[in-house]
């Protein structure tokens, strides 16, 4: 098997120009994945001060709506289930006034890359964060009538 990125992309698919972006974002992604999935943080509990500093400096600092997310100041960062996509863990920032908001680390990293590497970031981001459709995902059936809601026409 060929070497892969944290996002499971083959390393040989990135151009020489994109190698700088890869070496910049890959260590951040490794740490984020470790914090989110392998550190054993219970849902809703604050992450360590070391991990909080990392997430603030390397990630949340680049969110396009950083000021709104931080609000009155950061009390703590946590990992918890997303409110809509309940099978997904995500980061939340809890401000000093107790407001808890989720934030997208991808949005933060995309913004960082677009600012630092404006000429190659868009193509890199499309490759790096590309998700192959799962075999159980059938996007063609999104407009299908859900079971139990079948319309019956009587003649």
* Domains, the chain, with CATH or none: 16-129 (3.10.450.40)
Cα 125 to Cα 109: distance, rounded to the nearest angstrom: 9
Cα 132 to Cα 100: distance, rounded to the nearest angstrom: 31
pLDDT at 145: 39
- Taking 70 as the pLDDT cut, the residues of the chain under it are 1, 132-155
pLDDT at 28: 96
pLDDT at 144: 43
Q: What is the mean pLDDT of the chain?
A: 84
pLDDT at 151: 42
Residue entry with tokens 């009390």: 75
pLDDT at 54: 97
Please write the tens of the pLDDT for every residue from 53-94: 999 999 999 999 999 999 889 999 999 988 887 788 899 999
């Amino acid at each position: 098997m060929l070497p892969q990125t944290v996002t499971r992309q083959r390393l040989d698919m990135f151009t020489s120009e994109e190698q700088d972006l890869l070496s910049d974002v890959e260590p951040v992604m490794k740490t984020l994945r470790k914090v989110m999935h392998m550190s054993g943080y219970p849902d809703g509990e604050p992450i360590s001060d070391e991990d909080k500093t990392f997430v603030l400096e390397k990630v949340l600092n680049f969110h396009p709506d950083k000021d709104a997310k931080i609000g009155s100041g950061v009390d703590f960062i946590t990992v918890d289930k997303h409110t809509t996509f309940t099978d997904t863990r995500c980061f939340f920032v809890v401000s000093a006034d107790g407001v808890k908001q989720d934030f997208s680390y991808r949005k933060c990293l995309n913004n960082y890359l677009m600012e630092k590497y404006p000429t190659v970031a868009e193509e890199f981001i499309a490759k790096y964060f590309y998700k192959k459709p799962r075999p159980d995902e059938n996007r063609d059936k999104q407009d299908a009538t859900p079971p139990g809601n079948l319309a019956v026409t009587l003649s």
